Amino acid sequence: MNYTQTLLLVGTNICTFVATYTLTSFIDSTKRGTNRSITESNIKNDAASKTYKTYTKFVKNTFDNENINVYKNEKRWLQHLGNTKHSPKLLYYNDELRMLVTTDMGDPLTKEHLASINIEKNTNSILSELSRYNCRHNDIKPSELVFKNGQINVVDFGWAHYYDKQNPSTWPSCLGDKFKCTPYCDEGSIKKSIDFIIKHK
């Protein structure tokens, strides 16, 4: 069954875009956060027609509290990072469904990918970009690193925070799993994650 929903398109030309997005499977609102799919979406305006390979994500509310709405936090950071090259571009969102549709940033990072690139150059580019936008990802681990067109990219910004501020004390201590650094440091987490991928994947 298909579920078709007209959604708000987020972009620089927001006033002229009209888009209809068709999911490939029915959305069960009782299972939000469990459904993730990659699908094709046509985005059209009066001047041109573009096709993006997109990534659809439903953000759970499990960890929401008085200091964080994980869905809203990720949406806000994706909007803020919209012009970066290592982070997803937010194409659509639906607040009721807690759904985010972004550009697809690639496949899970593997040691074969890493063998084909300059790792230091890639990671420095990511860290420089995050720093320039005053963003600390906070939850970098192997599953958050993907690869496309010869470069490493970072996804899942639900726990991102300002680089120059401490995380709220109510945020879970498990962020980053065994790849986190104390205090939180994206540079250390990327290094630990890449070392793990090289040794275990």
The answer to whether the beta carbons of residues 16 and 46 sit under 8 Å apart is yes
Query: The CATH number of the domain where 179 resides is what?
Result: 1.10.510.10
87 contact partners, CB below 8 Å, separation of at least 6: 78, 81, 105, 129, 153, 154, 155, 157
Whole-prediction pTM value?
0.79
Verify that 90 and 117 share a domain, yes or no: no
Number of domains in the chain: 2
Contacts of residue 79, defined as CB under 8 A and 6 or more positions apart, other chains included, come to: 10, 90
Same domain as 126, residue 92? no
- Digit-coded pLDDT (tens) for 15-71: 223 344 444 333 333 333 334 444 555 554 444 566 668 999 999 999 998 889 999
Mean pLDDT of the residues in the chain = 81
